[in-house]
Structure formats: C-alpha cells, structure tokens
Structure 1
Amino acid sequence: MTAYYAPKGGLPPQTGLMTGRAVFTEAYAVIPKGVFSDIVTSFLPGWTKTRMWLIARPMSGFSETFSQYVMEVAPGGGSDTPEPEAGAEGVLFVTEGEIWLSLDGKEHELGAGGYAYIPAGCEWRLHNGADHPARFHWIRKLYEPAPGVAPPEAFVTSDKEVAPVAMPGTEGRWATTRFVEPDDLRHDMHVNIVTFQPGGVIPFEETHVMEHGLYVLEGKAVYKLNQDWVEVEAGDFMWLRAYCPQACYAGGPGPFRYLLYKDVNRHARLRGPGAFGALR
C-alpha cells in the first residue's frame, strides 16, 4: 500500500535544535517537513474549518507560473466558492482522508491518491463529510489559451488507476505516473508523480526552462539542486526556478516518490511591440 505524507502542524519542543535543513537560494528553495508548523498556516476567504500551508506562489525572478497549497479541511469544512480567479485552473491531489468534490454539477468522492483536474471557469465545490480531517495539495495556475486548441475538460482519477511509465533504459527504476498525456496540447501544465526505486537515479543534470514544484510523498533521496546535494525525505518540498540544474539518487530502503509540477506546451512570451521603441 502506498502511503502519502501529510503534515499535521504543531510546534517543535523548546528543547529542539533550531538548525534544520531549510534552504533558500537564487536557484532553488527547500522547505523541510519540520517547517510545516502551526505558525505558518493561513486561512482562506470562502473556506470554513480549513487551514493551509502556502508553499509556492509566483515571485518575480523566481518561479513565476504557479502556486501550491497544502490544504487541511476539518470535518464539516470546505467551500462552495473555492477559486477566486476566473482564469485559474487547478489540480487537487489527496494525501489523507476523503473529500466530496462537485465539478460543474458532477459529484465525486476522492480518497488518498485521488487526483482531480479543474479547468479555468469550472464551477466547483469541495467539502469534508467524514469525521476526520482531509488533507490535499491544491496547485493553481492561470490558464494560457492557445489559438486553435480547445481548452481541457475536468476529470477525476487516482494514483492507483494510472500505471507508471518507465523512463527509457532505466529498467523501471525511474518511472512517471502521467495523469495527462505529454502531447495533449490542451494542457499548459503537468502535475505528475515521479517514482524512483532504491538505487534509481536521474543520470544527468537536468537543466531546462520549466519551473518545478516537488513535494516528497514517500521515501528519501539525495537531490542535486544547482551545485548542492541536498538530502530530502517524505514531507519536504523543493521549489526550482527555470534552468536550475537537478539530478537525483534514491538510496532506499523503499521507493522515493514526489508530486511534480511543471509548465509545458506553450510559446515563450516575447516583449511587446513597443519594448524597444524608446531606445531607437
């Protein structure tokens, strides 16, 4: 059975050491699981009995395309007006408990491992009708329409329903659970699950323009971020700006899995026609 880490909050004891594994650089940030304390939670307008950890948001000069929340909804909590921006699309991934989700009038129940894509303009509601908290990730992005490409539709699936696809030449040690096909141009972002078996590696330093959010769901590994090797484990979050070199070695003893965001399938935006006019 797959287990997904979900933070519970609280505070470290007064006897604990202050020094931890948190890192913030010009190329990446690491938010270790111990930082997910009560003092950094927020509440959201339109949501009841809900708190969240906001772990990524657009920042000029850093990752600029997405935000990511770790949500905790108490029994009886939720929202009938969850999304305040009409142009925002979203992905939900449940790590603990159960949620009731309505997408354009269609009702769904999602348990741990449940995944939902919510297109821009979708009318949706979410509630926790159980007697225990529900915890899930909510990734938001402003959708970028493309000429001649229809917008994507809402869908619901789960980690258990989608078979991982092994990366070529890795003998299954490195695989990706893709909830959207890579060549589906309707989608301008991918939120996948990457799995490394013990000993699996990213055998080169990936360097690309796509921004990343990586939340570790299970296991541990050492991750190469820019010029640093950083040890990470379930509950840690890594935030990578464009072009940050990255690689990975999964040391075991079990699988290393993380929820991965990246922006895809759109032209790079160029400067407007008047950008250089003042310099002539």
Structure 2
Amino acid sequence: MIPLHDDRSTHLTPWVVRGAVAVCVLVFLYELTLNARDVALFNYSFGVVPASLFGIAELPDEVAVIPAWATLATTIFVHGGFLHLIGNMLFLWTFGDNVEDSMGHGRFVIFFLVTGAVAAFTHAAWDMNSTVPLIGASGAVSGVLGAYILLYPRSRILVGIPLGPIFLPIRLRAWVMIGIWFGLQIFNVISSGVAGSGTAWLAHIAGFIAGGVLILFMRDKRHKLFSDETAMALSPATEPSALRIMRPDPHPDAPNGSGPWKKGPWG
C-alpha cells in the first residue's frame, strides 16, 4: 500500500519533515554521482555496522570517518536505491507533518532521531557480529507511524494499491492501514527471520514501538490521543466521479477561517 494523502490539517508548517526529506534526497543524488565502490564505502561510513558499533570489529580508516555511535543518526539519511528512498519519503511526507504538529519542531527533531536510533540499535543488537551496514529512514518513519496511530487512528488515508498494470486508489482508516503494515512486519520477521532478507524488519518493529511510547510524553497535551475529530470532508455522493476527492474544511486557526489546507505530495 502506497500512502498518498491523509485528511488531517496542521497548525504548524512541517519544516522538520521537509528538511528531512530534502536531506535524504540530496544525499541520494550525491550517491548517484559515485561509482559502485565509493557507494559501498559511503554506506559503510554512514550506515550502522553492528560489529563496529559494539566494538567487535574495526572499520578501515578510509571508512571510519565518524564515531560508530554517530552512525545511529546518519544512517537515517542514507538510502540504497530509488524505491527505498521514495517509499520512505512518501510515508514520512504523509504522516510526519501531523506528528511534528503534535509536539513542535524541536521535539520532533529529537523524536525522529531517537526513534531512528532505537530502530538501528535494536537491529544491530540482534546480530552484533554482522558487518553488513544498515541504512535508511524506515526505522524513524516507523516511529512516526507508531505515534500517528495513537494520535489519529480514525483519520482517512488515501492509499494506492498496485495490481499489475492497475493502480487501485482506496481510503482506509489510519488504524486499518497502519495495522496492516505493522502486521506485515511481524509476519516477515516470523517467516523470513530477522536476518533472513535484505530488509530490517526488526528495526521497523522497534521504531514503531519507540514512536508509540515517546508520543505519550513528547506531544503537546492539547493534542489528545485517539482523536476522532475530522479535519476534512468527503465531497457529496452525487459528485460524478468513481473516486470521490477529499476536500479540506477550513481550519479553525486559519486566517478568517479560510483554507484550503493541502496535505501529501499530491496537494
């Protein structure tokens, strides 16, 4: 399922989310200028290498450019391919602004880095002898999902489901969509094992749990958990369209009650 849009408006401009997306894209564009060997060295330099993190093995001087503990943060901004990048950024763009809005910019920076670090550390701790670098923002993005489902479980999410040549758009409640996603992470751990594939499923689970715990303490108390408020409305059933479009209601804090408040990369 590919998230395209959610129905929640925000009070704050999501500068941290936008900044994180920009950094990830710029780092990826830089990687595209490198040859295969240099890309591998870059991943070892800024990804989390479990054996190095726990002092079991030392990296060569040419890649040990920062302390091993610092890679718990830098790994978030390094991706291994276009699909890896765009998948993480779509999830972050769709859900991250609301979580940032719930706690403010400064606390969200801490939240994002901590959930990413917890996810990477959990993955590394499971196999301390591994010398394969862990890269990607999926652990931190999982933390965003863990927070979002506690804040706005009843939000409507427009998702796209690729079915061969057909792209099926449907709306799901956040608790359904994120619940299915989390169930798939558990299924993948059970079926393929923690280290049974190239995806760090355990990191996703750890990040998700960390996000759910941290939101309890880091959110502004004006943002209630399990909110059932809606910020947008469906267009009339009579609208001549196979897929009705979600339109934003005016936000109460918008100037003169005006809107619209756009969400997601598609407006």
Superposition TM-score tier, normalisation by shorter sequence: under 0.3
TM-score for the superposition, normalised by structure 1: 0.22
- Whichever structure has more helix as a proportion of its residues is 2
Structure with more of its chain in strand, by fraction: 1
Highest RCO, 1 vs 2 (Cα 8 Å, sep ≥ 6): 2
TM-score scaled to structure 2, two decimals? 0.23
